[in-house]
Chains A and B, each alone.
Chain A
Amino acid sequence: MAEPVISLRGVRAELGSRPVLRGIDLTVRRGEVVALLGANGSGKSTAIRTIIGQVPLSGGEIELFGTPRRAFRDWRRVGYVPQRTTAGGGVPATVTEIVASGRLSRARFGLLRKADHEAVRHALELVGMADRAKDSVDALSGGQHQRVLIARALAAEPELLIMDEPMAGVDLASQQVLADTLTRQVAEGATVLLVLHELGPLEPLIDRAVVLRDGCVQHDGPPPRALGQHALPGHDHVHPHSADAEPIRTGLLS
């Protein structure tokens, strides 16, 4: 078995004073593509944001590449794609300027050399946005904007991609571009953890699905086959997904 890239043990977190994560165990191994599923408010995004250090832990531990998260400094190995709504400033910025900020983890003192500019251009080519490099991000559609955010994460040439709802509000054409981009990254050995509302066009890529419900892991195993209503934990799973699946915690007995 490959070594763990992300490992969460008994992770608890609170927003305000409301417990959002109530003891999550999650391991993502090198080369795996793991989808984090669950209804709104189940703790998917909070789980992601504890991993990157945006939300403080109230219990448990997180390791990235075998290093405790607090001591982890090798951020160039991680590419992060936040939910699109969190990004965006009050001043115009071009596609290139946004993507270049993803390269800062590899740039010394914030100075971008020729190779860095080359990597930024390459990242834009990967998501098919090279022809929009000089455009303002405000002029982009939702799907194009999402492609830019993925290029920004790819600019550092990371080994691990963490994505929060990359398909939310993305048009069909961009969904296909994103799926192709991700397929190529995975083929080249990238490890991926992504929050999804439904599997959608990424389904063939997903090795494993972790379903959260009320801040607990409800399912960890092969991705649920069904789409739509059936992919949501609100749906009553009366059939087991596989023989070695974790016992399902419905939250009714806790």
Chain B
Amino acid sequence: MDILNYPFMERALIAAVLVGITAPAIGIYLVQRRQPLMGDGIGHVAMTGVGLGFLLNASPVWMATAVSALGSVLMELIRWYGKTRGDIALAMLFYGGMAGGVMFVNLAPGGSNANLSSYLFGSLSTVSQSDVTAIGILAGFVIVVTLGLRRQLFAVNHDEEFARVTGLPVRALNLLTAVTAAVTVTVAMRVVGLILVSALMVVPVAAAQQLTRSFAATLAIAGAIGVTVTVSGTVTSYYQNVPPGATIVLLTIAAFIVLTALATPLARRRARNAAAARPAGDPVECAIPATRGASDEVGV
């Protein structure tokens, strides 16, 4: 494995493993609460952070973390208080975030859109040692939240109304989900890039649930798919000299297609087994209750 002789590849592979675990780990909750594209929105907002990093000569990773966390909290607040125009407010946040990024980068001394490109599409050779440290710390936070609080997050994202009655701090958990998603975006930014990060949050989860019946198994398999595609995508990118982000996302989609093809016969067999296990003479669910009058029938 000559690939490990290069320190930059070693750093890239560490980052790839962390991204492969964290992106689906938070993505599963976004899919569960039917906001799969939230990662995409946060990615747009994070561009302003990257631009600010260049402009203020600060670390783009940490600036992106701060700005996207702020943006995700704002999105969550719009979700609570926003009435009918919530979607418009979100659109302005997304595109404002992108425009801010382009503007700040170009205002930075000697800056141009070229500086943004490695953040937009991911780049292995530019992952520095301090990036790896930052990614490691942030990934640790994401793993602690998504695995440590999985029962609470599962309950809130499955049925918010019920979760409130179990006494869970619903709003705090929603905010934590949003901030964790924002942190994950910046973890993944260096490897897959801001434009493609959302794919790695959503597609492994969608692929995993072709095979699974339980949340726990979906989480585990999505993580396994995530690590497999990020590591193999990174290696492919090195040998074939192709962009890592695009390679990883295309591999993820390929995994989705393969698993979907495999899942069809599996689902058929499960249905057959279930039918065989069911005792004969089970009541037919669609029977119309004979005793019940049509109470909502209106006679005119």
Tell me which residues across on chain B come within 8 A of A101, comparing CB atoms: 151, 154-155, 158-159, 162-163, 166
The CA of A76 and the CA of B166, in the complex, are separated in Å by 7
Q: Does B168 contact A (CB under 8 A)?
A: yes
Tell me which residues across on chain B come within 8 A of A202, comparing CB atoms: none
How many positions in chain B have a CB within 8 Å of any CB in the partner chain? 44
Q: Does A250 contact B (CB under 8 A)?
A: no
Q: Does B79 contact A (CB under 8 A)?
A: no
The CA of A101 and the CA of B153, in the complex, are separated in Å by 10
Tell me which residues across on chain B come within 8 A of A52, comparing CB atoms: 161, 164-165
Judging by beta carbons under 8 Å apart, are A93 and B293 in contact?
Answer: no
The CA of A54 and the CA of B164, in the complex, are separated in Å by 8
**Cβ-closest chain A residue relative to B294:** A228
Tell me which residues across on chain A come within 8 A of B159, comparing CB atoms: 82, 86-89, 101
Tell me which residues across on chain A come within 8 A of B218, comparing CB atoms: 91-92
Given contacts A101-B163, A110-B152, contact A227 B293 (CB under 8 A): yes
Judging by beta carbons under 8 Å apart, are B213 and A94 in contact?
Answer: yes
Tell me which residues across on chain B come within 8 A of A104, comparing CB atoms: 151-152, 155, 163, 166-168
Q: Does A136 contact B (CB under 8 A)?
A: yes
Judging by beta carbons under 8 Å apart, are A80 and B209 in contact?
Answer: no
Tell me which residues across on chain A come within 8 A of B265, comparing CB atoms: none
Q: Does A53 contact B (CB under 8 A)?
A: yes
Q: Which of B211-267 contact A (CB under 8 A)?
A: 212-216, 218
Q: Which of B157-205 contact A (CB under 8 A)?
A: 157-159, 161-168, 205
Judging by beta carbons under 8 Å apart, are B295 and A89 in contact?
Answer: no
Given contacts A86-B159, A86-B161, A152-B162, contact A143 B285 (CB under 8 A): yes
Judging by beta carbons under 8 Å apart, are A110 and B151 in contact?
Answer: yes
Q: Does A90 contact B (CB under 8 A)?
A: yes
Tell me which residues across on chain B come within 8 A of A76, comparing CB atoms: 167
Judging by beta carbons under 8 Å apart, are B166 and A75 in contact?
Answer: yes
Judging by beta carbons under 8 Å apart, are B165 and A139 in contact?
Answer: no
**Cβ-closest chain B residue relative to A200:** B292
Judging by beta carbons under 8 Å apart, are A92 and B212 in contact?
Answer: yes
Judging by beta carbons under 8 Å apart, are B149 and A110 in contact?
Answer: yes
Judging by beta carbons under 8 Å apart, are A92 and B213 in contact?
Answer: yes
Within 8 Å by CB of B274, from A92, A110, A139, lies: A139
The CA of A228 and the CA of B166, in the complex, are separated in Å by 35
Judging by beta carbons under 8 Å apart, are B289 and A80 in contact?
Answer: no
Tell me which residues across on chain A come within 8 A of B167, comparing CB atoms: 73-76, 104-105
Shortest beta-carbon distance, B89 to chain A, in Å?
18
- For chain A, give the interface size range: 35 or more
Judging by beta carbons under 8 Å apart, are A87 and B162 in contact?
Answer: yes
Tell me which residues across on chain B come within 8 A of A75, comparing CB atoms: 165-167
Q: Does A118 contact B (CB under 8 A)?
A: no
Given contacts A152-B162, A171-B285, A229-B295, contact A89 B34 (CB under 8 A): yes
Q: Does A78 contact B (CB under 8 A)?
A: yes
The CA of A172 and the CA of B283, in the complex, are separated in Å by 9
Within 8 Å by CB of A198, from B149, B151, B295, lies: B295
Q: Does A29 contact B (CB under 8 A)?
A: no
In order of increasing CB-CB distance, the 3 nearest A-B pairs are A75-B167, A228-B293, A136-B213
Residues on B lying within 8 angstroms of A by beta carbon are 28, 31-34, 36, 83, 149-152, 154-155, 157-159, 161-168, 205, 209, 212-216, 218, 274, 283, 285-287, 289, 292-297
Beyond known contacts A92-B209, A171-B287: 4 more, CB 8 A cutoff:
A89-B159, A93-B154, A101-B162, A173-B283
Residues on A lying within 8 angstroms of B by beta carbon are 16, 49, 52-54, 73-76, 78-80, 82, 86-94, 97-98, 100-102, 104-105, 107, 110, 112, 134-136, 139, 141-143, 152, 156, 162, 171-173, 175, 197-198, 200, 227-229, 231-232
List 24 A–B pairs whose Cβ atoms lie within 8 Å, in order of A's numbering: A54-B161, A54-B164, A75-B165, A75-B166, A76-B167, A80-B161, A86-B159, A86-B161, A88-B159, A89-B157, A90-B36, A92-B218, A94-B213, A102-B162, A104-B166, A104-B168, A135-B274, A136-B213, A139-B213, A141-B285, A156-B166, A171-B287, A198-B292, A229-B293
